[in-house]
Each structure stands twice: as structure tokens, then as C-alpha cells.
Amino acid sequence: MNRRQFTASLGAAAFAQTKKAPNVLFIAVDDLNDWVQNFGGNPQSVTPNMVRLGARAIRFQRAYCNAPMCNPSRASLMTGLRPTTTGVYNNSDTWRDGAPDAVTLPEYFLNHGYRVLGCGKLYHNSQPDYHAFHEYLPETHSEAEAKAEGSHTPAKAAQGHFDWGPLDIADEEMEDYRYVRYTADVLSKKHDQPFFMACGFKKPHLPWYVPRKYFDKFKESDVKLPPYLANDLDDVPKSAILQGGLRDHARVTKNDEWQAAIRGYLAAINFCDTNVGRVLDALDKGPNAQDTIVVFWGDHGWQLGEKNMWRKFTLWERSCRAPLMIAAPGVNKTGADCGRVVEFVDLYPTMLDLCGLPPKAGLAGKSLVPLLKDPLRPWDGAGITSDGADKISIRTERWRYGRFPDGEELYDELADPNEWKNLAHHPEAMTAEQKKVRDTLAARLPKRENRTKHRAFEQLPGEEKKKLKGVPREGFAKG
């Protein structure tokens, strides 16, 4: 019996839950950067419901993913382990190969007396870890949404899923609305045991197809472009550059669609915000509002032309920073900003701490409860983000240091928030203080990067895929 099986065998007996144990509403959003009104990324973004949540939460303004893409970021958050420990760096990786005995965050709650329910995108696409949930509404694609997308005229710069545009379709016909409906149903009922309800929204992931009314809120000619420096990439290591992101930018600018593309992202974010509001309405109107912790997180950032780049997959601020909000009744009294640096691996120990569950050995992060109680307290945090065993960065409140096979980066984030001047490009010109910072941050990076190459999940035999996915304990939820 391995560690994972042993932990599961303990079940609810491992921790005697009481009615005082708080519920958890765990909201994950795909590809949402800091273009949220109370995070300041883009003043044109319209997110009143995220603002509403932020008014009663601690808003972590410097929260960093541990990998700048879906699969490794989510696997790291859910296992509490860094990519440098598991070797899971890519979307194609079978994440269970890197963490075969890990007890994931939902599974830990299930093993300690919680009713665990999930819907939508929590893990990357086809690796949902179903067995860790009592019930799960899986990620699919609605027929109405697929039909509307099929009749859509692609943008001139479109390439694969890199596309945007309005759909003549009702919100209720969109896939994300299924997750709203399922989550709202859970929140509207009383439960005999505490619940962990995890809801994963797809938008604003590409393609940015959402109902027309969300596009109508943004006039293309009024859309402002992000801060931009044409020769921004001249002083960075070549391996730091995402070639696909460069090709996206070349197509967008060649076809004069930069504003149009940003409009699509803004519309998709506003659609997501509306769905978040529907979930919050269900919570507030139901019987669980006073004893439910709400956690809201985006899995990584997103670039929209900064550094001539689109998408994620890089180790700069735009890709690594993502919104994180935690509202814990009785712990944080009112909404406030926290400027301390935290990272996604901190969420696992934080949730155990908030819910009174036994601490778990071997987790990489640390509980954020002290910051929930006092967001201004001293904190020696750093955000470590990996994009492969040979590409890694570390972010503190003032500095970002990056190490690559062909060079280094060092940015003074206070003086240079757009990361336009790589101080490490000319080491001979660095001050003694900058050299000391570079060396200190380099020493804080993980000493051993797991270089194991994991199997590609989609290439596995069907029976092995099924085994790795796990089987929901009570079957798929219907919705």
C-alpha cells in the first residue's frame, strides 16, 4: 500500500469534522491575468463581480504561478509541489508520472470528512483526477456553442485557437454556464457535512468567443494598447523568447488587429466576471454564506503584445502574475490589498490551516493565514516560476531574477515595472548592489531541477488514460 492509498484508507476517521468546519468555494479561472479592476492591470477591464468579491477578501497583488501554463501550474497548485520537484513542466506531461503518490488538495479534504464536488476545468483538460471527488461535472463543449463557433468568421490574424469574436448565442448555451448552474445548485442547499466545491471556468481561455453583448460593451477604436517597447527583446536571452508568441504578434500587427484582439480578451473577461457574479449570488442567497471560505485564482498570466509577445509560456511579469483572492469569514475582517509576494504552492497549506485540518508534511508552500489576518506584516516570500528544468525565475517585492541556458535577467520592478531594462545583460555595468541581489536571488532557486521526461498523456493507451483519470465515486454529475 503506497502513501496515497494509506491516506485514503483513513477516510473521515482521520479527522473528526464538526458542523463548525467551514465550507470552501474554490473558483479557478483559465488564462486570467491581472486585468481585473481591483488588480490594476487594465483600467478598461470591466469586472464588477470580482471587485465585489475583493471587497470582502484579501487581494494578493503579488501572487505568482509556479509554471506559466495550464497543466504544470494546476498540477503544482493541487499537489503543493513545485515543478522542479515533480518534473512536470509541459501541458502534454502526464502529471501523475511526476507525483504518483501525491494526495491532491481536493483528495485531502475528501479524506478528512468533506464532501468534495467539482466542475469544469480544474486540472488540465483530460487529466481531472476524478477519484478525488465525490461528484464531478466534467469539462465538455456544448452543442450550441460549437455550432455558433462553426459559423463564426475568423479574425484575419487567427491561427488555430488564437481567435476572437462575438457569438449570437445566449449565456445559458455556453459551456461555462453549466458550471454556474451546477455550482449554484450546490451552494443553494444545506449540507450534512462541510463541502469543498471547486468550480473551474474556461473563459477567458482562447478562443475569445463569447455572446455578442459582451463585445458590445467595448468599442474597438477606444481600446488602449499595453505599454510597449519595440526593441524590448534585444537584451534578453534568446531562450527566454516564445517564438509562437512572436508569430502571433506579427500576424496581429500585420493585419492591424491589436485593438480588436484586446477587445476580445476584455469581452471574455467580462463574460467570466458575469458568471463569477452568478456564483456569488447563489452563495449569498443560500444557507452557506456565513461559513464558506471563497478562494479565487487564475492559473497564470497572459501577454497581449508586451515584448512583441502573446499568450503565456514566458517568465516575465505578464505571464507569471495572476489574481488571487481569499475571503475567509472570521479571519479577514474586510477587503484589503496585500503586497507581499506569495505563490500558488502556498494555497494547499493555507486551505488546511483555514479549515482546521492536520498539517501535511512535504508541501513546498507556507500558510497565508498570517497575511489574511494582517496583510501588511513582514513576509519573506518569493515567487518561483519554472518553464522547464533550464528556465526559471524568482520574484521578490522589488526584483525579478531569471536564469536561462544562454543568459540571465535581472529587473528592478520598482524602477522598471515593464521589465524593459535587463540589468544582467551588461554585467560589467551592474552596481555592487545589483550584483549582490543577483547572487542572492540565484542562491534561493531550487538546487535540483527534476529533468525527468514524462509520458505524453494523449499518447497513452485508452485503458491507462482511464486509470489515470480515476472514476468519480458517485458517477458524473448531470447538468
Instruction: Indicate which residues carry an active-site annotation.
Output: 70, 124
Side chain identity at 418, as an amino acid letter? N
How many CB atoms neighbour CB 395 within 10 A?
Answer: 26
User: In the sheet that 392-395 helps form, which strands lie side by side, from edge to edge?
Assistant: 383-386, 392-395, 399-404, 407-412
Q: Cell numbers at residue 394, please? A: 524568482
How far is CA 337 from each of CA 9, 55, 155, 371, rounded to the nearest angstrom? 41, 10, 38, 10
Q: How far apart are the first and last CA of the chain?
A: 36
The residue behind cell 505599454 is: 227
Q: Cell numbers at residue 277, please? A: 457574479
Cβ 41 vs Cβ 55: under 8 Å: no
Distance CA 111, CA 15 (A): 8
Is residue 361 exposed (0-12), middle (13-18) or buried (19+ Cβ within 10 Å)?
exposed
How far, rounded to the nearest angstrom, does the alpha carbon of residue 447 sit from its chain's CA centroid?
25
Q: Residue 29: what are its φ and ψ, rounded to 5°? A: -125, 135
Distance CA 68, CA 63 (A): 13
Distance CA 110, CA 229 (A): 49
How far, rounded to the nearest angstrom, does the alpha carbon of residue 55 sit from its chain's CA centroid?
20
Distance CA 468, CA 264 (A): 35
Q: Helix %, strand %, coil % for the chain, to 5? A: 40, 20, 45
From 457, 472, 475, select the one nearest 127 (Cα to Cα): 457
